[in-house]
Amino acid sequence: DIQMTQSPSTLAASVGDRLTITCRASQSISNWLAWYQQKPGKAPKLLIYKASNLETGVPPRFSGSGSGTEFTLTISSLQPDDFASYYCQQYYTLWTFGQGTKVEIK
């Protein structure tokens, strides 16, 4: 099984901050990685696919990078709507989610 490890698990930030969330795979997954945003009581929303491709309609302040085993999600300037939980997911072999990162207001 491929394990996905996200860090940090919680992040306190302010509007306007630049944020980086890291996701590590237990083995190489090439660039078969997606990032999702989830707000309380809602289904996850796809932000990034194939590590760095922005899903249609997602603001360009979101970006993804990485390949192999290390990946990052960056929010260039945090907006009030961005306080949520974020998950990475590999789909190189089956599908596995990271444990999530909760972005809270500082």
Interacting residues toward another protein by CB under 8 A: 1, 32, 34, 36, 38, 42-46, 48-50, 53, 55, 87, 89, 91, 94-100
* 3-state secondary structure at position 22: strand
Look at the alpha carbons of 34, 44, 37, 21 in this order and tell me if their dihedral is positive or negative: negative
Phi and psi torsions of 33, nearest 5°: -135, 140
Is the peptide bond preceding residue 44 cis, with omega within 30 degrees of 0?
Answer: no
Q: Which is nearer to another protein, 11 or 46 (CB)?
A: 46
Q: Which is nearer to another protein, 57 or 80 (CB)?
A: 57
Q: How far is the CB of 99 from another protein (least distance, A)?
A: 5
Q: Which is nearer to another protein, 53 or 79 (CB)?
A: 53
Q: Which is nearer to another protein, 79 or 99 (CB)?
A: 99
- The residues, any chain, with a CB within 8 Å of residue 54's CB and separated by 6 or more, are 47, 48, 60, 62, 63, 64
Q: How far is the CB of 105 from another protein (least distance, A)?
A: 19
Q: How far is the CB of 69 from another protein (least distance, A)?
A: 18
